[in-house]
Structure 1
Amino acid sequence: MQASDLLVKCLEEEGIEYIFGVPGEENADFMMSLEKSNKIQFILTRHEQGAAFMAEAYGRLTGNPAGCLGTLGPGATNLITGVANSNMDRAPMLVLTGQGSTTRLHKESHQAMDVVEMFKPVTKWAVSISHQDNIPEITRKAVRLARTEKPGAVLIELPENIAHLPSDKTPIKPIRYRRSNPDKSVVAQAAQKIVAAKRPIIVAGNGCIRKRASNSLRQLCELTGIGVISTFMGKGAVDLDSEHCLFTIGLGAKDLTACALDASDLIIMLGYDMVEYHPHLWNENTDKNIIHIDFLPAEIDEHYNPQLELIGDLANALDMLREALAEYELDFDFSQQQAVRRDMLVELAEHKDDTSEGKIKPQKCLWDLRKALNPEDIVLSDVGAHKMWIARHYHCHEPNTCLIPNGFCSMGFALPGSIGASLVYPDRNIVAVCGDAGFMMNVQEMETARRLNSNIIAIVWEDNAYGLIEWKQDTEFGRHTPLSFGNPDWMQLAEAFVWTGYFVKNSADFSGVLNEALQHSGPRLIVLPVDYDENPKLTEKLGKIVCPI
């Protein structure tokens, strides 16, 4: 068969469901082949970056890669920010790019650039197909690498002259393998260290929301009573209503949750990604007693040198640890953890009854949002000041129901990401929370959402500025550089893209508007002027944190 047909057949064999993107001349053969597939749906997007973010959300929610596609040159460069975001957020992804004919790549040539070399720093593997018979092996390797812990992005480049060459090869059938378990003797050592501790604590990272790990963690908590702090991307590893939930850590300044961490004499790090919350922020003196449990060994860092490492499948490691601990009589002091949870619950509810007019407090918006959504509904955060508030004030009942980009941290994720999420879960409420800056970075995907009739709500916090940068500059320098900008007439924008639009001016009205929007389907836009006077107030509060005990 033709090489482009073979690539599509290989992708079908791998179970690929969606490819998002913007095709070009150099991947025309692939597009013709893809059109014949009754297993893979191509979603035409309005920008390649939006395609990558859609594929990332799909990958984070399913654990399986989707494809994002661009042509050579500018198509590939447009993809790269979303690809880097996916790779650092540990989302499996296949990146598919066209390329000029191999007969012209050795010289100056129209739109030609070394795409493979450009993508190597932001993928787990990047390869160009140099012979059509290599397609089955390349595809099998690419998908295996994308899915293997820790998951990430893989690039396959198909030059235009290779795409239409004949091949008699057939797809390689995927064979899944079981990840190895930690050594039993090391598990026994970990159990002994935990039993010997008085105030152990767990920090749940991004790995805890993948591969059944959350269920195993919850069972461990029920047995031991140990509390869990999550990173931004570990939300929902334990239920927010559980007494074991100590909410999140990761803000630059010390928060209440850090009090429980400081008071602990043993920190159990689960599925921890250093890109989220660097250890120098919580282990400045390098004196913490640490157990590292993850799919991979710990990254080397002078502030993160675990005394013990359990390496293997995270869920199985937690199950083995629970079985080992069941043999012991446990006696821990959780008074500090209980006090932190008590005080954080007060903080979260502080502005739930706010009725201010003209601007809406971040805390009020997120309180109402949490109350309105079901446990399995999904919130996607963009990047900006609102992300800090979501990280601190929006918590989850289930894993993977709050998607925050916190590795590469690219603005523009939430709107296209919500489109990808709605394809995975069309019957759930999918809500993107964006700043006005981040929303406008991929505003063109409003048309994609309308065309697909995506069941999404985009909530835009309007402050007419790059609010997070203002916040940081004001904190550090006492002033900020010019960061203000204008915005469109939001309701006219919604009308132009045939979205249902709402503008909310008063705190007391937001809950009702949100619940009304949730009764409708299709794409909906809610815009509210946000009270970012709360930003410096939070900075001042965190700077004066006094631990409960």
Structure 2
Amino acid sequence: MQTGGQILAACLAKQGVRRIFGVPGESYLAVLDALVDHPEIALIGNRNEGGAAFMACAHGELTGAPGICFVTRGPGATNASIGVHSAMQGSVPMILFIGQIAREMRGREAFQAVDYRAFFGPIAKWVVEVDSPDRLPEIIARAFVVAQSGRPGPVVVALPEDMLTDMSDARPAPPVKLAEAAPSVDAIHELRRLLGRAERPLIVLGGGGWSAQGRADLAGFAEANHIPVATAFRFQDLIDHFSPSYCGDVGLGKTKAMRQALDEADLIFALNIRFGENTTDGYALWPVPRMGKVLVHSHASDAELGKIYQADLPIHAHPNALMAVLKGMDMRGAWADWCARCHEGYRASLTIPPQPGTLDMGRVVAHLQAVLPEAAILANGAGNFAIWSNKYFRFGPKARLLAPQSGAMGYGLPAAIAAKLECPDVPVVCFAGDGDFQMNLNELGTAMQHGAMPIVLIVNNGTYGTIRMHQERSYPARVSFTDIDNPDFVALARAYRAHAEQVTRTEDFPAAFARACASPTGAVLELVIDPESLTPGQTLSQMRAAGEAKNRI
């Protein structure tokens, strides 16, 4: 006989869990005690449950295996909800375990009680509370299947504390096996027919569940058939940007060349994407529910097919299974010139005009491109600063991007730490705005404690840049609530034993970055940029003038 906590720990070990993120709580002490007997599972102590959930989400994004997070009831669970939301919007496998009130206290609004099914139901794939330790093997196995199957996403498991101390003779289930939906013969035949009639096909790529082989098969298929490929919002690392088929990202701030490609394409092959707001420009890019072009939409989950747009050919197939069938197939049409034109449009969009001030982020990104190895990992949270890494850094076949589909500020630092834990020998660079960084800067303590400090680039302009941009465009010269009085970032980072410097001139960045890379304790570089440099190609003053002109009309 074993306690529920011991059975749960054994179940996690059986499923191959190697790392747990979280903040300790008295509601799941029985699990913490049981994990002492499983040294193969590392416990990563976070400083806030939101940071822990972000790390679990990033782990799932990077590895494809569910990121595991443990938090206590009530405030711990609600703090962690931001990571659950990010995992759901990003199609990332994750499992959040929550210590829960004792079963006999249900319905009494006990201390820190929350109805987790009601709270997490809209933002998780499955929410369950375990009533008996006898059912732990069943429920844990199902949680791993649900988190990884179809469209990957988060699962929430509540653990009543008295259940964790009850005794049972239940034994862990074996490692789960996952099914991948494969395309039908008829679907492949129809895809060939529709492509044969197209003059300007365009693949729009995204979603979760991709393997390295699946990505390689995709690139091979697109290149052999001269089909241009665009990536959905923050899925830039799914294809090599140096591929002759790559033509940019269909996210926020679409380039002129990308818009032209989307307008001119007569067939859209939506490959494993959900049609989100940012990819579709608020669903205005194409009319709903028929986009006015031939649409082929494939997805690992049948629930995404027909959800927004009605496809001429819906294909229920896992992306890896679909590409395994398509690789090597000759579906070429007279598209070579079209593909070359789309790729050249992307290459031309990489030209960055000089930025105002003494520190030019365009030249910073160019230096990173030159010195980082091809297997580097970049992470970011949300804000205009992310444009630099998302739009102007070219991801090779081994580079990875960890970025929040949900637009959550504060994601970048926890994600970078999670990446450093998983890939300690790979350079990990976090792009953070000054406001974004302060959402989770306390996770520097986690990095310090576990020896997993990345290189953090704080792009400091003293304002919430994205909101200031919209403010100037809509309410010019009426600034409120967007300025930030920042701390001494260098002193703060040094308190966490990291190498830290402030950089104010472009020419000083290469040497500072070299010192950051050489630091055995990671580094924080504060990059002080001109507030005029809110977004590439348009200054703050220009935004304000455009807003004033708009208001006069």
- Give yes or no for contact 1:220–1:319 (8 Å, CA) kept in 2: no
1:318 aligns with 2:323: yes
Match of residue 278 from structure 1: 280
The partner residue of 1:448 within 446, 449, 455 is 446
- Tell me how far 1:194 sits from its aligned partner: 0.8
1:344 aligns with 2:346: yes
- Tell me how far 1:300 sits from its aligned partner: 6.4
Match of residue 142 from structure 2: 141
- Give yes or no for contact 1:124–1:145 (8 Å, CA) kept in 2: yes
Amino acid at match of 1:216: D
Match of residue 64 from structure 1: 65
TM-superposition CA deviations, 1:486-536 (whole Å, max 9, x none): 111121112211110021111122123213322233221011012453446
- Give yes or no for contact 1:475–1:536 (8 Å, CA) kept in 2: no
- Tell me how far 1:342 sits from its aligned partner: 2.7
- CA gap of 1:195–1:44, structure 2 versus 1, over 3 A, is same
Amino acid at match of 1:133: D
- Tell me how far 1:316 sits from its aligned partner: 2.5
Match of residue 290 from structure 1: 295
Match of residue 414 from structure 2: 416
- Tell me how far 1:80 sits from its aligned partner: 0.7
> What does residue range 512-531 of structure 1 map to in structure 2 within 5 Å?
512-531=511-530
TM-superposition CA deviations, 1:277-300 (whole Å, max 9, x none): 137343148312111122123636
Deviates more, 1:252-261 or 1:60-69: 252-261
Match of residue 477 from structure 1: 475
- Tell me how far 1:421 sits from its aligned partner: 0.7
Match of residue 433 from structure 2: 435
- Give yes or no for contact 2:255–2:349 (8 Å, CA) kept in 1: no
- Give yes or no for contact 1:190–1:321 (8 Å, CA) kept in 2: no
Amino acid at match of 2:133: Q
Match of residue 547 from structure 1: none
Match of residue 460 from structure 1: 458
Match of residue 400 from structure 2: 401
- CA gap of 1:337–1:450, structure 2 versus 1, over 3 A, is same
Amino acid at match of 1:168: D
> What does residue range 226-237 of structure 1 map to in structure 2 within 5 Å?
226-237=227-238
Structure 2 residue ranges without an equivalent (≥5): 547-553
- Give yes or no for contact 2:87–2:154 (8 Å, CA) kept in 1: yes
Deviates more, 1:189-198 or 1:472-481: 472-481
- Tell me how far 1:337 sits from its aligned partner: 4.3
Match of residue 204 from structure 2: 203
Amino acid at match of 1:238: I
Report SS of the residue matched to 1:19.
Answer: strand
Match of residue 310 from structure 2: 305
TM-superposition CA deviations, 1:395-452 (whole Å, max 9, x none): 211266011212x221111111111111111110011100011111111111111111
Amino acid at match of 1:145: V
- Give yes or no for contact 1:290–1:307 (8 Å, CA) kept in 2: yes
Deviates more, 1:140-149 or 1:211-220: 211-220
> What does residue range 34-433 of structure 1 map to in structure 2 within 5 Å?
34-207=35-208, 209-210=210-211, 212-252=213-253, 255-275=256-276, 276-278=278-280, 280-284=283-287, 286-297=291-302, 299=304, 304-323=309-328, 325-326=329-330, 330-351=332-353, 358=358, 360-398=359-397, 401-406=400-405, 408-433=406-431
User: Separation in 1 of the partners of 2:188 and 2:153?
Assistant: 28
Report SS of the residue matched to 2:436.
Answer: helix
User: Separation in 1 of the partners of 2:308 and 2:532?
Assistant: 35
- Tell me how far 1:221 sits from its aligned partner: 1.7
Amino acid at match of 1:104: M
* Structure 1 length-normalised TM: 0.92
Report SS of the residue matched to 1:236.
Answer: helix
- Give yes or no for contact 1:8–1:37 (8 Å, CA) kept in 2: yes
- CA gap of 1:400–1:213, structure 2 versus 1, over 3 A, is farther
Report SS of the residue matched to 2:138.
Answer: helix
- Tell me how far 1:274 sits from its aligned partner: 1.9
User: Separation in 2 of the partners of 1:355 and 1:75?
Assistant: 42
Report SS of the residue matched to 2:107.
Answer: coil
- Give yes or no for contact 1:362–1:531 (8 Å, CA) kept in 2: no
User: Separation in 1 of the partners of 2:107 and 2:307?
Assistant: 44
Amino acid at match of 1:232: F
User: Separation in 2 of the partners of 1:128 and 1:537?
Assistant: 48
- Give yes or no for contact 2:500–2:525 (8 Å, CA) kept in 1: yes
- CA gap of 1:302–1:19, structure 2 versus 1, over 3 A, is closer
User: Separation in 1 of the partners of 2:52 and 2:203?
Assistant: 36
Structure 1 residue ranges without an equivalent (≥5): 545-549
- CA gap of 1:298–1:531, structure 2 versus 1, over 3 A, is farther
User: Separation in 1 of the partners of 2:221 and 2:254?
Assistant: 30
TM-superposition CA deviations, 1:39-89 (whole Å, max 9, x none): 211111111111111111111111111311111111111111112112211
- Tell me how far 1:24 sits from its aligned partner: 1.3
1:509 aligns with 2:484: no
Match of residue 486 from structure 1: 485
- Tell me how far 1:149 sits from its aligned partner: 2.4
- Give yes or no for contact 2:297–2:311 (8 Å, CA) kept in 1: yes
- Tell me how far 1:211 sits from its aligned partner: 6.2
User: Separation in 1 of the partners of 2:472 and 2:202?
Assistant: 34
Amino acid at match of 1:483: T
User: Separation in 2 of the partners of 1:431 and 1:248?
Assistant: 21
User: Separation in 2 of the partners of 1:205 and 1:91?
Assistant: 12
User: Separation in 1 of the partners of 2:31 and 2:76?
Assistant: 15
- Give yes or no for contact 2:299–2:305 (8 Å, CA) kept in 1: no
- Tell me how far 1:334 sits from its aligned partner: 4.4
- Tell me how far 1:180 sits from its aligned partner: 2.6
User: Separation in 1 of the partners of 2:225 and 2:496?
Assistant: 53
- Give yes or no for contact 1:116–1:157 (8 Å, CA) kept in 2: no
- Tell me how far 1:537 sits from its aligned partner: 6.1
- Give yes or no for contact 1:214–1:399 (8 Å, CA) kept in 2: no
* Structure 2 length-normalised TM: 0.91
- Tell me how far 1:209 sits from its aligned partner: 4.4
- Give yes or no for contact 1:362–1:532 (8 Å, CA) kept in 2: no
Deviates more, 1:293-302 or 1:212-221: 293-302
Match of residue 497 from structure 1: 496
- Give yes or no for contact 2:382–2:409 (8 Å, CA) kept in 1: yes
- CA gap of 1:485–1:370, structure 2 versus 1, over 3 A, is same
User: Separation in 1 of the partners of 2:463 and 2:292?
Assistant: 41
User: Separation in 2 of the partners of 1:281 and 1:254?
Assistant: 16
Deviates more, 1:164-173 or 1:233-242: 233-242
CA RMSD, Structure 1 to Structure 2 (Å): 2.4
- Tell me how far 1:202 sits from its aligned partner: 1.1
TM-superposition CA deviations, 1:205-242 (whole Å, max 9, x none): 13484463211111102221111111233213321112
Amino acid at match of 1:350: I
Identity %: 26
User: Separation in 2 of the partners of 1:342 and 1:515?
Assistant: 32
- CA gap of 1:240–1:197, structure 2 versus 1, over 3 A, is same
Report SS of the residue matched to 2:158.
Answer: strand
User: Separation in 2 of the partners of 1:87 and 1:177?
Assistant: 19
- Give yes or no for contact 1:355–1:508 (8 Å, CA) kept in 2: no
- Give yes or no for contact 1:73–1:115 (8 Å, CA) kept in 2: no
